[in-house]
Amino acid sequence: MTTETTIHTSALKPFENKVAVITGASSGIGLATALRFAAEGAIIVGIDLNNSDAWQQIVALSPQSIFHQLDVRDFAAQQKAVDSTVEQFGRIDTLMTAAGVGEAGPLNMLDIELWQRVIDINLNGTANSIKAVLDTMIAQRSGSIITVASIEGIVGTEGGSAYNASKGGVVLLTKNVAIDYGRIGIRCNAICPGFIDTPMLHSVLFAEGMDDFRNSIIHQSKMGRLGKPEEIAGAAFFLASDDASYMTGQNLVIDGGYTAGNAHGIVEMMGLV
Ligand SMILES: NC(=O)c1ccc[n+]([C@@H]2O[C@H](COP(=O)([O-])OP(=O)(O)OC[C@H]3O[C@@H](n4cnc5c(N)ncnc54)[C@H](O)[C@@H]3O)[C@@H](O)[C@H]2O)c1
């Protein structure tokens, strides 16, 4: 048995010369990850339905970065963006699929069109993004794919229906990609965030009449607060890095302890917090 420990002493940034395609790059978790990866030296290929002023911050950190305004439901458009990336930079090291929507409701109250929209964006859109980079990653025999699922893809929640079904699909798609392509050097892991304070969640939790709901979520998040998008970006950095070189097919849950178990106020009753 041999043990190898590599200590990196180079002045290069950790992701220097790496190319990262990030969907949902204009807001929330995707934007925080794009900023983190750009700060670490990566070239960012951002994909989003909406353009955002924040993109200028990414270009300031990583001038070669490029933005493609497109819908992840459109496979041909994503393939075109990926092909032009490969033409320009010659490779794709990382794909992170953060584009998504958070709509749902109890099934009997949900329009079938809304069900289809959520599955189409969250699940089919993720499959489109992965399929678009696979030929490139197979040819280069390397790549780290990071999907953004949710704790709601692992456990059910009230009114979750379409959203939870879409994220459960992403969790299993992630495992299958890991199984199918692991032997040719491609890793695929899911990040399963809990409740992260992004525009998507903020608009729901801080709407009028949502105080009790918000407080209940914060209480069950055992850190006593919502998560920050940068805390998901940190996990994405790990999964994209060589430090995660033997990790594939996993769900990395980052939820402040929300799914660790129930809290019923005992520690408050005993004066601990
Ligand atoms: N915020 C949370 O608490 C939380 C928890 C678990 C999982 N997630 C997941 O994280 C991902 C990012 O969410 P967020 O909270 O940062 O939300 P967000 O709304 O801030 O960002 C989502 C981004 O996806 C883009 N997008 C939506 N539909 C698209 C489409 N069809 N094509 C291209 N881009 C599209 C939006 O324009 C937006 O920029 C989503 O998949 C979401 O389900 C979020």
Q: What is the pLDDT of residues 77-135, one digit of tens each?
A: 999 999 999 999 999 999 999 999 999 899 999 999 999 999 999 999 999 999 999 99
Minimal CA–CA distance to 110: which of 41, 168, 169, 161?
A: 161
Q: Which atom of ligand 1 is nearest to the CA of 72?
A: 32
What's the CA-to-centroid distance between 68 and ligand 1, angstroms? 16
Between β-strands 94-97 and 143-148, what pairing exists: parallel, antiparallel or unpaired?
Answer: parallel
- Residue 11 is predicted with a pLDDT of 80
Q: Whose CA is nearest to atom 19 of ligand 1?
A: 200
Write the pLDDT tens digit of every residue in 246-262: 999 999 999 999 999 99
Question: 97 CB under 6 A from ligand 1?
Answer: no
pTM confidence score: 0.96
Q: Whose CA is nearest to atom 17 of ligand 1?
A: 200
Query: Sheet containing 19-23: which strands, arranged edge to edge?
Result: 66-69, 43-48, 19-23, 94-97, 143-148, 186-193, 251-254
Domains of the chain in sequence order: 19-196+228-259 (3.40.50.720)
Question: 75 CB under 6 A from ligand 1?
Answer: no
- Residue 104 is predicted with a pLDDT of 87
Structural Rg of the chain based on CA atoms: 19
Active site residue 246: no
What's the CA-to-centroid distance between 139 and ligand 1, angstroms? 30
Q: Which atom of ligand 1 is nearest to the CA of 99?
A: 24
Share of the chain above pLDDT 70, in %: 96
